[in-house]
Structure 1
Amino acid sequence: MATDASTRRDGAAGIALERGADGVRARLAGRWTADQAPAVEAAADRLVRGGADGRMVIDLAGLERLDTLGAWVLERARGDLEQAGRSVVYGGAAPEHRILLREVGYREPEAPPPRRPRSLLDPVVALGGGVRRLGGEVLAGIAFLGEVVAGCLRVMARPRTFRGAALVNQMQQIAFNGTPIIMLIAFLVGCIVTQQGIIQLQRFGAQTFVVNMIGILTLRELGVLLTSIMVAGRSGSAFTAEIGSMRMREEVDALRVMGLDPIEILIVPRILALMLALPLLAFLADLAALAGGALTSLLYGGLSVDAFLSRLQNVITFRHVAIGLIKAPFMALVIGIIASIEGFAVAGSAESLGRHVTASVVKSIFMVIVLDGLFAVFFAALDV
């Protein structure tokens, strides 16, 4: 029997190759650990180069210690030998060594799936897949809405369990802290829309009708739509990020382990705060947009503020105000449901969090616009 032993210092990873008639026995020795990484790599290289045709037994009986790095390098060497057509088995392994080797076991890299030739039906297939996913998301949203309604009913049955402090905190975050930016944007949009209206109506000598345009457009559509979009981008994304971060840190699972319902604790206060805050913000946005329209009418159309308010009073009725504000709670509910679903869908990575926050904002804005269109058709059918 021929022996080929590698020289090593005491405790360093080493290997001795014993060649016999039935194959090769590789006796491992020393510490195959991360602090011996160079020696481990050198010994594994000798193992691969020293393998002969036939059977090889890797004897682990002489190992002083084996950690994840050593096991992974050893499994990599075994995989290289088996790819070269050699039969490799382990011998003399302690139970803990077998467990570690099994966990880091070498696996063949998966071959990429074969590329399917392009077809003229691919766009149709993609469209069908998108419709199917959209249907699944709609059903998931309806199911989640049912959970929220059930959570609200449980809270109503046990009022003492309701987290009033969380509701007040969310109202502050959504309504109070969001008022300045929402009013500023509504004021600027009111100025821009009024200016463009005056420029077009001046051609017909009808610039005073800009009051009708800005008043009805703002109260029925523009104010609540701008507010909902801003709330979706500001508060909806915050909801998704907060719940997603709790999912990543397993705080949601901890709530369930403690016997608490995450819907009651996390979702109900946020959605109620949204449904209360959005009508208030929409009303303030209406006032800001009308103020911008009055200022622009004075500067561009020569229409005094008194004349603007007088004509606005003759044009606007409570019906226009109510139509705009009726939409707000429904839009708030849609924003809250989508933001919560995306938050609970976050996995354990920052990439997943960013992806779901983006999806939350995009889906919320899309659904707000769709809902506004449905309300427009509904009120047109009622002739109001």
Structure 2
Amino acid sequence: MQTATTPFLRQHGEHLAVGGDWTLAMATALAADVSRWRGRLAPQARIDATAIARLDTAGARLLLDLAEAARIDGLDPRQHALLDAVARAALPDTATTRRDNGLLGLLARTGAAVEGIARDAVALLGFIGLVLATLVRSLPDPRRWRPTALAFHLEQTGLDAVPIVVLLNFLVGAVVAFLGATILRDFGAAIYTVELIGYSFLREFGVLLTAILIAGRSGSAFTAQIGSMKAREEVDAIRTLGLDPIEVLVLPRLLALLVAMPLLTALAMLAGIVGGGMVGALSMDISPTLFITRLHELGAARHFWVGMSKAPIFAFLIAAIGCLEGFKVSGSAESVGTHTTSSVVQAIFMAILVDALAAVFFMEIDV
């Protein structure tokens, strides 16, 4: 076993001779000597390292600190290679720390963002195709149905969401009616608040507010549940058992949301209209009979079906995005949180985008 050699630093004129073991074990003693000699060597000075017996990364770091602008001679090839590696590691990584904040940097970041959006859109389309193929393959075979999971998720996404959906739409309906009456009263047209409430909630607000709530509540829950299973390698265990994760994890959630979303939308429309009608009765003397009569004259059934037609589309998109983001989780708690946030943002964005496109479409066909 090689014995340790005490390190030393000796001055020879303008030059400095070093030797012994420059290792981690000797680092504490060497640090004091290095700090004493650093800065005292002339720029043309030379460090003679011929007598260095052993050198590791800690010693190489101290030797570099000692040298500064001085030249180091006498190292064998392995020691010289180690010193070069430590010197390169100590240099700042300009490729990662330098950030171009000019026009080129802006264009690069914009391009990267657009590329990411395109990549996510392609992944979502592929996942939707996979889900539809699995659904078509599973529905004709009752043995592959999962009624217990369907009932559980129907309760979780539908029944448990009723209070918050009804309360939010009731309050928004009351606020919209109050604001509409405040503005229309100046024109002597406060009675048209009924049409404002009916039109807005039956066509837009009821289904859109419900979709946003479900995206934040159920879509995030789908991502967190599947992501946690992915992190614990339960999804791999499902595949090992010969089962299809799409069939086991995605279809029950998708079908439950497809059933729950239209029902929640109908309740949301009713709650919003009730909230607006209550404000009309209390602040504008619009009786419930008059309120219902004007809704009927508005053609409420037509607007109701326009709004309801968007509910299954929103449900499908929210469930697909939530499950897809869950499968993207890499295996850490941080990844679960990141993809849960991404799921909510994407689902709300898609709901608003589809609602805007549907509004333009129904306007063009005069429905």
> What TM bracket, shorter-length normalisation?
0.7 to 0.9
CA distance in 2, matches of 1:116, 1:128: 16
- Aligned counterpart, 2:82: none
CA distance in 1, matches of 2:362, 2:273: 23
2:267 aligned to which of 276, 284, 301 = 284
SS of corresponding position for 2:341: helix
Shift of 1:149: 1.0
Structure 1 position 348 matched with structure 2 position 331? yes
Residue type of the alignment partner of 2:94: P
1:293 aligned to which of 268, 271, 276 = 276
Structure 1 position 259 matched with structure 2 position 226? no
- Aligned counterpart, 1:141: 124
> Closer, same or farther in 2 for the Cα pair 1:244/1:80, shift >3 Å?
same
Structure 1 position 311 matched with structure 2 position 305? no
> Closer, same or farther in 2 for the Cα pair 1:57/1:346, shift >3 Å?
farther
| Structure ranking higher on relative contact order (CA contacts 8 Å, 6+ apart) | 2
1:221 aligned to which of 178, 193, 204 = 204
- Asked whether the equivalents of residues 24 and 59 of structure 2 are also in contact (C-alpha less than 8 Å), the reply is no
2:157 aligned to which of 174, 182, 197 = 174
CA distance in 1, matches of 2:358, 2:132: 22
SS of corresponding position for 1:178: helix
Structure 1: tracts of 5 or more residues without a match? 6-14, 27-39, 59-73, 91-104
SS of corresponding position for 1:108: helix
CA distance in 2, matches of 1:110, 1:148: 50
CA distance in 2, matches of 1:144, 1:359: 16
- Asked whether the equivalents of residues 225 and 368 of structure 1 are also in contact (C-alpha less than 8 Å), the reply is yes
CA distance in 2, matches of 1:213, 1:350: 46
Residue type of the alignment partner of 2:211: S
- Asked whether the equivalents of residues 99 and 105 of structure 2 are also in contact (C-alpha less than 8 Å), the reply is no
1:324 aligned to which of 290, 307, 311 = 307
Structure 1 position 112 matched with structure 2 position 93? yes
CA distance in 2, matches of 1:89, 1:282: 73
Shift of 1:271: 1.2
5 Å-filtered alignment, 1:147-166, equals: 147-166=130-149
> Closer, same or farther in 2 for the Cα pair 1:303/1:250, shift >3 Å?
same
Residue type of the alignment partner of 2:181: I
2:167 aligned to which of 161, 184, 187 = 184
5 Å-filtered alignment, 1:55-70, equals: none
- Aligned counterpart, 2:49: 53
The percent of aligned pairs where both chains have the same amino acid is: 42
Residue type of the alignment partner of 1:282: T
> Closer, same or farther in 2 for the Cα pair 1:116/1:213, shift >3 Å?
closer
Structure 2: tracts of 5 or more residues without a match? 8-17, 34-47, 80-85
Residue type of the alignment partner of 1:16: A
- Asked whether the equivalents of residues 237 and 358 of structure 1 are also in contact (C-alpha less than 8 Å), the reply is yes
Residues paired across the two proteins, number: 327
Q: CA RMSD in A?
A: 3.2
2:5 aligned to which of 17, 38, 57 = 17
CA distance in 2, matches of 1:306, 1:173: 36
- Asked whether the equivalents of residues 194 and 296 of structure 1 are also in contact (C-alpha less than 8 Å), the reply is yes
Shift of 1:169: 0.5
TM-score by length of 2: 0.79
1:364 aligned to which of 331, 344, 347 = 347
Shift of 1:302: 0.8
Shift of 1:116: 5.6
SS of corresponding position for 1:53: strand
